[in-house]
Chain A
């Protein structure tokens, strides 16, 4: 088992900030993005996925990001990516033309300096959120550590 990536989430109003640190590859990308999609509350309108701390993405990770974008769009939620210009993953992002589907910013929009929670614990705001209006979507913790072999990879 390798702990490849860590996820931190913060919420500002209707914006969910998700910071992804580490590496995203075939072993963990799909499980991570699926978990992220589950974890985003329904009243959030914008998810900002900050890949500043992400040092590696492969094609499987890019595919997962496309899937995440699609699922959020189905829920009327927008997804934006943050990839700095000097990032090691910049080349892959550009080559896969990810920006044509998901808006990519070079830096995160101005965030209030909210405390950062870390893996495996829900952010302080999550518990105080009103219950989601459409109860059909199950609420899950909004932040998760996703390992490889997450069990959600389909054969």
Chain B
């Protein structure tokens, strides 16, 4: 028991001892912990059973002496209140318009608990004994007087009354339940007792009942709030001196107003109401309740003494006036005080909510600010990274450009003009997001009318690959000049690549074409095989294949051979042309062969190149560099040779090469061929030296040859203007021509000069 009491004590503060269930949840949040709920329930149970030892109103455990002291104090207060009430009776001791003890009893039982009812009972009995006809009547009346407060407190407890009287519902509760309803009990019992004991007649019962009821009710309305407000002076926020001053002023003003109304003839009694309103407005219950008590007591006193506004009134008039005044006083003060309290609480709650909101906003703002700072930092870091990246990108792009420029500048600007042989080439760099590769091709004119063709691919990309490509290409030219045979050239390149500071894998196909013999010789180091198309039939030069140069220790290369007749096509390419994701190399090769073989025979090589690039490359994205090189020996047109070249010394070898091939294909024996070559060469050399000497740029050299039977005619023409013979000097040229052919005629005309060489030639016997 004591343990549970202790537990209840710590949490049951400010709650009605008998109304724990109602009071605790509505107590100010600052004084109630979360554990209040079960503790309140315990208090409620105790209150219901009426167990002695209930904790006091202010939390301290109530010891027996203290309880007895309280009982005595309550009884004494009740008794004194009764004496005061009797002093205020209107007619002798019979009619008391204000019965303070009832208010004292209600307030006491509200504050300390209903278990203190015996004090009320004893005091009531003591009050009533001298007044009643019989002791029994006094006892019954006392019972009624005790029962009424107990009922009042019970009812108040049920509706969750708070003795702070700071809500309108509390004001309503004490007016209608605590006063008007509960006092029906005492009034009825008291009136009945008076009737039964013979003190009043039946006709007097309604008046007696009404007086009793209003007196008790007024006692509750005026006294109980005053008593209830007293604990607030130390329970709630202490008053500063200014409020004490204000409260005192209110009391003085109320007293002064009532006194003025009572002592003079002026009807100013109701001026008390504004004063009370002011007190309630400014000081709430603590200001209003004392003022209301004083006003009610003084008014009642005036009525009892028939002075002031009550002078000359009948009893009924007095009662009505006094009770209505007292009701106004009580209601004004309580309701206004409760209203203002509620408003203040709302304001405080609102203020708390506002500050809580502000606190949250601040906290959130701080969080947001931190997040923002973090974000800004991240953005900055990202921007820095981005800058670094774009710097890197710019560098890579620059290197890409350099490599591409380098590669383009090192590929042949234009292919050599080789009479009787058509050549075309393409180089397509990879799309810009991929680095430049090391694809390259070259065409080298070699002694004896031979033609060297090469295509290769240096593994890797960028400047390094481009640089290697350049070295390989230059070396290949030099080696081909020294010994044009394919294995020899490949050996040389292999040695060079092996000795590079950074060894690279280089695939390379080198072919040597002898136009006169129509022979193709080649070596292939790991490169996709060259393709030939002869009479619409495509075949790959798959033989003579060895690993890429630079990867094996020994540089031994074999040689393959094939015939390439006039009109046939030779295609060299790099893997970028045929390699596609998801397409096997075999499929790519098959497709290439079909495409080239299907090309219209009339199309030139330029058209063929364009067609291949269109067919095999995706314009949007070219993954790897592509180089292609095509060659096609021209078909002799109607057995006649027709060459047109710039009249330059370097082209003399082209003329010889073409003429030599033509003569051989025409079946002219070698010995005669050599002599014709010299004669024709002399005629051409004359054109080169003399025809265009007065012009800044060289003109055209035309060589035509025709064979009818064994009769050969070679015409060498120009469109220039020869210098006079005297200035020419040297006579061997013409001498040689005359010596080597049967007939030489020189025809100078305005539009140019034509040298005609005629001779019989020996022809090979053909099968």
Contacts and interface: CB of A to CB of B under 8 A. Distances in A.
A26 B678 contact: no
B653 A4 contact: yes
Interface stretch (B261-269, B289-297, B682-690): B682-690
Interface string A48-75: 0000000111111011000000000000
Contact of B447 (A21, A26, A88): A21
A92 B736 contact: yes
A95 B674 contact: no
Contacts of A149: 649-650
Interface residues of B, number: 32
Interface stretch (B53-61, B574-582, B586-594, B727-735): B727-735
A2 interface: yes
A3 B445 contact: yes
Contact of B681 (A1, A5, A6, A25): A25
Contact of B678 (A6, A56, A145): A56
B739 interface: yes
Interface in B714-757: 730, 732-733, 735-736, 739-740
Contacts of B446: 3
A3 B481 contact: yes
A21 B484 CA distance: 12
A5 B652 contact: no
B7 interface: no
Interface in A1-44: 1-6, 21-23, 25-27
A119 interface: yes
Query: Residue among B653, B670, B739 with the most chain A CB within 10 A?
Result: B653
Nearest to B737: A59
A6 B477 CA distance: 13
A92 B682 CA distance: 11
A139 interface: no
Nearest to A66: B732
Given A55-B448, A88-B674, A95-B736, A119 B482 contact: yes
A56 B677 contact: yes
Main secondary structure of the interface of B (DSSP, over half): helix
B444 interface: yes
Contact of A23 (B656, B675, B732, B739): B656
A84 to B, nearest CB: 14
A129 to B, nearest CB: 24
B46 to A, nearest CB: 123
Nearest to A62: B732
Query: Residue among A22, A23, A25, A95 with the most chain B CB within 10 A?
Result: A25
Contacts of B670: 88
Interface of A: 1-6, 21-23, 25-27, 55-60, 62-63, 88, 91-92, 95-96, 118-120, 145, 148-149
Sort A-B residue pairs by CB-CB distance and give the 9 closest, nearest first: A27-B649, A22-B447, A59-B732, A88-B674, A3-B481, A26-B685, A2-B445, A148-B650, A59-B733
Given A25-B681, A120-B478, A145-B481, 15 more contacts: A2-B416, A3-B446, A3-B481, A23-B448, A25-B649, A25-B652, A26-B652, A26-B688, A55-B448, A56-B681, A58-B678, A60-B685, A91-B740, A92-B736, A149-B650
Interface of B: 416, 444-448, 477-478, 481-482, 649-650, 652-653, 656, 670, 674-675, 677-678, 681-682, 685, 688-689, 730, 732-733, 735-736, 739-740
9 contacts: A23-B448, A23-B653, A56-B656, A59-B730, A59-B735, A59-B736, A62-B732, A63-B732, A148-B649
